[in-house]
Amino acid sequence: MPAVVRGGKRQSGKGQAARGKPQGRMDAVGRMDMSPRVVVACLIGGVAVLAAVLATGARAERISASVQEKFDTVTVGMGLKLDKVHVTGASPEALGPVQRAVGLYQNQPMVSLDLEAVRQRVEQVGWVKEARVVRLLPDTIIVDVKEHNRLAVWQLGGKAQVIDADGLVINGADAGRYPELPLVVGKGADQAAADIVPLLRQRPNLMQRVDALVRVDERRWDLRLKGGGIIQLPAVDQDSALIRLDALDQRERLLDLGFARVDLRTPEEVAIRPSEGDA
């Protein structure tokens, strides 16, 4: 039976108390039908092994199968069995795949769980950049994930994919669900986007007019505006070129008036071609 898997914040300790855990542990020990002396011996042995495992980080596979089975029986009887998995840090779109990747089920012995294996499975999910898995005794596993940030939508050969700040494609991300992300087009645009997108985000008046950022010859950018104009940026020192554009826009309201092309490729020079209606 799968463990109860939830996203969001952890529940308070009051919820655990309401379930009556201490009484359930004693009932479980009673059902094992052991004499008091055997029960005490098992508990002492179980606590000792538990302390050794938690102190040294030794994995379950290093303990012989027979000892492991007895140990699991004792710890489960003590109430150390999985009941809940909490996933934190996941977006609504990533939560389902992360929960499925956890791969744990209810009533598994808590101490024997291989947390490293869980972490590796979660990090295989395309959304996840890194994950941390914590064992919270007696019955809870916390899976905290950090997702790849969504930088832009990259279009190449008619295929659109969401990329992060390192230019990596985020597998499983539907580009159609992110209309607010800038569109970068062309070969090499995925790797170069991290340099240009932050510069445009510093200029919201310009950013809101950009329809697509087109990579030209894998060297530089053309900014294609929604109104049809094109801003040609140089291959280097794009920030200085955009500063010149800012100054011109403040003086002439260039972005409001419109143009066919603004050429910023030559340092210290701005060449403007008016739109056909202004010619």
The CATH classification of domain 152-278, taken from the options 3.40.50.150, 3.30.1360.30, 3.40.50.2300, 3.40.50.11690? 3.40.50.11690
The pLDDT value given to residue 61: 52
Output the average pLDDT for the chain. 82
Q: Is the pLDDT of residue 177 over 70?
A: yes
Distance of alpha carbon 108 from alpha carbon 118, whole angstroms: 13
Please name the helix (run of DSSP H) or strand (run of DSSP E) that holds residue 276, with its range, or none.
none
pLDDT tens by residue, 17-68: 334 444 443 343 334 344 445 444 555 555 565 555 555 555 545 545 567 6
Asked if 173 contacts 114 with a C-beta cutoff of 8 angstroms, the reply is no
Nearest to 231 by CA among 218, 219, 241, 239: 241
- 4-147 and 152-278, same CATH topology: no
What does the DSSP assignment read for 60-76? GGGS-HHHHHHHHHHHH
Is residue 70 very low, low, confident or very high in pLDDT (cuts 50, 70, 90)?
confident
Domain 4-147 in CATH: superfamily?
A: membrane protein fhac (3.10.20.310)
Report CA-CA distances (Å) from 33 to 26, 58, 77, 92: 12, 30, 12, 47
Per residue in 227-245, pLDDT (tens digit) is: 999 999 999 999 999 999 9
- Report which of residues 43 and 203 the model is more confident about: 203
What token pair was written down for 209?
Answer: 């007019």
Q: What is the pLDDT of residue 56?
A: 54
Give residue 21's pLDDT: 41
Q: What is the pLDDT of residue 20?
A: 40
**Statement: residue 74 has pLDDT above 90:** no
Residue 13 predicted with pLDDT over 80: no
Q: What is the pTM of this model?
A: 0.69
Q: Is 278 helix (H, G, I), strand (E, B) or coil?
A: helix
Strand order from edge to edge, sheet including 140-147: 4-7, 84-88, 140-147, 128-136
Domain boundaries, the chain: 4-147, 152-278
Higher-confidence residue: 79 or 173?
173
Q: How confident is the model at residue 191 (pLDDT cuts 50, 70, 90)?
A: very high
